[in-house]
Amino acid sequence: MEKYLDILEIAIYGSAVALILIGLYGALTKKSLIKIVLGLSIMDSGIHLMMIALGYLKGGTAPIFSKGFENSADQMVDPIPQALVLTAIVIGFGVTAVALSLVIRLYRHHDTLRIDEIKNLKW
Amino acid sequence: MIFLITVLLILLLMVGAAIYAIVQKDLLFAVIASGVISLILSILFLILQAPDVALTEAAIGVALTTIIFIITIRNTVRYEDERNKKKKQKNVKKLAK
Amino acid sequence: MKKYIVLGLLAVLGYYLMSIFLLVDFGLPHFAHGVKDVYLSSSKNILKVSNAVTAIVVNFRGFDTLGEVTVLFLSATAMSGILYKKRHDIGERSILFPASSIIRSGAKMLFPSITLLGIYVFIHGHLSPGGGFQGGTIIATGFLLMLLTYQNYSVSHNRLVWVESVAGMLFVIIGLAGYFMKGSFLENVLPVGELNDLFSGGVIGIIYVLVGFKVAAELIGIIYTILHEKG
């Protein structure tokens, strides 16, 4: 049983870190502006997975006191990261929308999306 | 045991979709791959006992974010290296008439 | 060359992130009597709300939620400011080609049930998974379906502004009522009722319905703005 949890721990934390790193790689090296915004949104997903995984409890139930679960507060997973991630997802959508409208505006002005052709911004 | 194997497969698929989304030159395919990431993420949230977050992720990450990226691609360019840009714009104008 | 520098940097970052997070045991309780227990017990005993996440989002961190809907409103406003065009340049049509008749009749059939599902989700936000943010997003998805299917489907911008500002104002008024009657902003002023009852939790259900309307109006505004943009 211990080994089971260890494998799951490495897999879930590892894939969350992998999502963060892949998104950061895309945002740092890609030239297309849409790719950069996509990388940032992938990074966001990795952070959400990480925060939810931190609050997980083995064999836990969702933090809802429905009928029959009124007295099982000890076995519930942590509700605080869930509330934080709920907020973060909606805010992330707002940020993505504003970033993409800036991208459209830049395209209308420069007629290209390659960031090295707009001005030598990227190294 | 079956549960463990399923979770591992799902995680592998998610990381693969993330790598595909970054490597792919066609932005439309990359955006669809990022939608796949959000879908798998919402299943994972359900497994990790967070149904509220799973609902939010399924609605926002899969539907709205993907659509907003696709509309941006429609208004700008489809390929990362911007080949066939002129030709594609002419085609869209011809079809719109 | 640049790629290898970035990869090296990411490897270092990944090593440190993994070594930090592997110290936190997965699936084991980290704190014996942490803030989690306080929130769970007061959500069940004092507020009588079944869904603890709703209790945290709307009551314990209600001020945070007010800031969040404000940020969403600001992002919708900023988008229409960034994508501003002169009046006669705005595209009349949201899509270039009309959808096929199968999709059109299917969308017409699905739209009321999607809206009904959204309303159900945000009314029962304190009893089951869901709430204002999820329900508002589901309603916005229904409008997105209609906008993508019909060429001339239009949403009245005035009505959206009205829904959004009335919902926001009522949110603040309920918060101020808590301040004047109980002493702190967003304090519960109504009777709490019984656990697992539709009319339980005092102001929490009302606030989540208001958040649902506000989020739906803002997201429809964002979609409408970006969909009527012609590059």
DSSP notation for chain C: -HHHHHHHHHHHHHHHHHHHHTTSPTBS-S-TT-HHHHHHHHHHHTS--SBHHHIIIIIITHHHHHHHHHHHHHHHHHHHHHT---GGGS-S-SSSSPPPHHHHHHHHHHHHHHHHHHHHHHHTTTTSS--HHHHHHHHHHHHHHHHHH-SS----HHHHHHHHHHHHHHHHHHHHHHHHHHSSTT---S----TT-TT-STHHHHHHHHHHHHHHHHHHHHHHHHHT---
Judge whether A13 is closer than 8 Å to chain C, CB to CB.
Answer: yes
Give dist(CA A107, CA C43) in Å, integer.
Answer: 50
Write the CB contacts of C33 (distance below 8 Å, at least 6 apart in sequence).
Answer: none
CA neighbours within 13 Å on the CB side: how many for C130?
18
- For residue B88, the model assigns a pLDDT of 55
Q: Which chains have at least 3 CB atom pairs separated by less than 8 Å from chain B?
A: A, C
For B25, the domain range is 11-96
Q: Which amino acid is present at C178?
A: G
Per-residue tokens: C228: 């009527």
Q: Which amino acid is present at C200?
A: S
Enumerate the domain spans of chain A.
Answer: 2-63+70-118
Give dist(CA B67, CA C144) in Å, integer.
Answer: 9
CB B28 within 8 A of CB B73: yes
Of B51, B59, B68, the CB nearest to C137: B59
Q: CA of B15 to nearest chain A CA: how many angstroms apart?
A: 7
Other beta carbons within 10 angstroms of residue C167's beta carbon come to 23
- For residue A15, the model assigns a pLDDT of 93
Does the beta-carbon distance from C229 to B71 stay under 8 Å?
Answer: yes
- For residue A95, the model assigns a pLDDT of 93
Share of chain C above pLDDT 70, in %: 94
Does the beta-carbon distance from C28 to A58 stay under 8 Å?
Answer: yes
Q: What mean pLDDT comes out for the span C133-161?
A: 88
- For residue C86, the model assigns a pLDDT of 57
Indicate the number of domains in chain B.
1
- For residue A110, the model assigns a pLDDT of 83
- For residue A40, the model assigns a pLDDT of 94
Per-residue tokens: B11: 């995680």
Of A13, A25, A90, the CB nearest to C26: A13
Does the beta-carbon distance from B30 to A35 stay under 8 Å?
Answer: yes
Q: What mean pLDDT comes out for the span C220-224?
A: 89
- For residue A9, the model assigns a pLDDT of 86
H or E stretch including B80?
none
Angle between helices C203-227 and C101-123 (to 10 degrees): 150
Per-residue tokens: B80: 């990362």
B17 within domain boundaries: yes
Does the beta-carbon distance from C130 to B52 stay under 8 Å?
Answer: yes
Sign (positive/negative) of CA torsion C62, C64, C68, C73? positive
DSSP code string of B6-66: HHHHHHHHHHHHHHHHHH-SBHHHHHHHHHHHHHHHHHHHHHTT-HHHHHHIIIIIIIIIH
Which tens digits make up the pLDDT trace of C50-81?
888 999 998 888 888 999 999 999 999 999 88
- For residue B80, the model assigns a pLDDT of 81
Per-residue tokens: C190: 């109504």
pLDDT band (50, 70, 90) for residue C230: low
Does the beta-carbon distance from A89 to B7 stay under 8 Å?
Answer: no
Judge whether B96 is closer than 8 Å to chain C, CB to CB.
Answer: yes
Q: Which amino acid is present at C22?
A: L
Average per-residue pLDDT for chain A: 87
Which tens digits make up the pLDDT trace of C92-110?
666 777 788 999 999 999 9
Is CATH 2.102.10.10 the classification given to domain A2-63+70-118? no
Pick the most confident of A67-81, C23-37, C115-129.
C115-129
- For residue C32, the model assigns a pLDDT of 66
Per-residue tokens: A64: 């809802």
Give dist(CA C143, CA C156) in Å, integer.
Answer: 12
Residue C88 clears pLDDT 70, i.e. is over it: no
Residue identified by tokens 């539709």 is C198
Other beta carbons within 10 angstroms of residue B75's beta carbon come to 19
Q: What mean pLDDT comes out for the span C224-231?
A: 76
Q: Which of residues 3-32 of C touch B (CB under 8 A)?
A: none
Residue C115 clears pLDDT 70, i.e. is over it: yes
pLDDT band (50, 70, 90) for residue A59: confident
Average per-residue pLDDT for chain C: 86
CA distances from C17 to A14, A23, C12, C137, C183 (A): 9, 15, 9, 33, 43
pLDDT band (50, 70, 90) for residue C47: confident
- For residue A122, the model assigns a pLDDT of 56
Residue C226 clears pLDDT 80, i.e. is over it: yes
CA neighbours within 13 Å on the CB side: how many for C13?
15
Between CA C214 and CA B12, with CA A79 as vertex, the angle to 5 degrees is 95
Give dist(CA A20, CA A31) in Å, integer.
Answer: 19
On chain C, the residues whose CB falls within 8 A of the CB of B45 are none
pTM: predicted TM-score of the whole model, two decimal places = 0.90
- For residue B93, the model assigns a pLDDT of 59
Query: In tens digits, what is the pLDDT along chain B, a chain of 97 residues?
Result: 888 899 999 999 999 999 999 999 999 999 999 999 999 999 999 999 999 999 999 989 898 999 999 989 988 888 887 765 555 555 555 555 5
- Greater model confidence, C140 or C194: C140
- For residue A93, the model assigns a pLDDT of 93
Residue A18 clears pLDDT 80, i.e. is over it: yes
ipTM of the complex, rounded to two decimals: 0.87
Does the beta-carbon distance from A56 to B37 stay under 8 Å?
Answer: no
- For residue C218, the model assigns a pLDDT of 92
Which is nearest to C118 in space by CA: B51, B55, B53?
B55
